[in-house]
Copies of this chain bind each other. A is one copy, B any other.
Amino acid sequence: MEQRLQLLTLGVRDLAAARRFYVEGLGWESTLEVEGEVVFIQLGHGLLLGLYADLANDAGVELTSAGTPPFSLAHNLDSEQAVSDFAARAEAAGATVVKPPQQAAFGGFHAYFTDPEGFLWEIAHNPGLSFAPDGRAQFGG
């Protein structure tokens, strides 16, 4: 059984605002957009982020929309300065920095922000986690 995740889909209430944040604010290019419905953004080797306005209906479940959902997405960077710069750019693009850039318990440096929909991102410089050329995670460094 292959261990794979190909799509991470955020069920957004305001697709236009989510698009403004990720595509215009962060400057990430979209791969495919269906207006009023979905925006796909490539976020790695074989991985797409989806911003999707109709997730609840598609899955047939009621989705929780209040507060911060219990998960985070992490964007790792090469230096502490890059973490601070990214947090500032995200804030300028409409994010709320909920934990300012600071030393992290894991030994690196990080910040957390929530995007305009309330999704939680960690921006981290973590010398203890790297990825080999074949993509495998390597802990300790």
Contact = CB atoms under 8 A, between A and B. Distances in A.
Interface in A1-57: 1, 3-12, 26-29, 31-32, 40-49, 55-56
Contacts of A136: 31, 42
A92 interface: no
B48 A45 contact: no
Contact of A7 (B4, B67, B68, B122): B122
Interface residues of A, number: 66
Nearest to A64: B67
Contacts of A41: 3
B73 A63 contact: no
Contacts of A86: 1
A76 interface: yes
Given A3-B41, A4-B44, 8 more contacts: A1-B27, A5-B43, A5-B47, A9-B74, A59-B122, A61-B112, A64-B70, A71-B119
Q: Which 10 A-B pairs have the closest CB atoms?
A: A45-B135, A7-B74, A45-B45, A11-B70, A69-B69, A64-B67, A63-B70, A5-B43, A46-B135, A46-B131
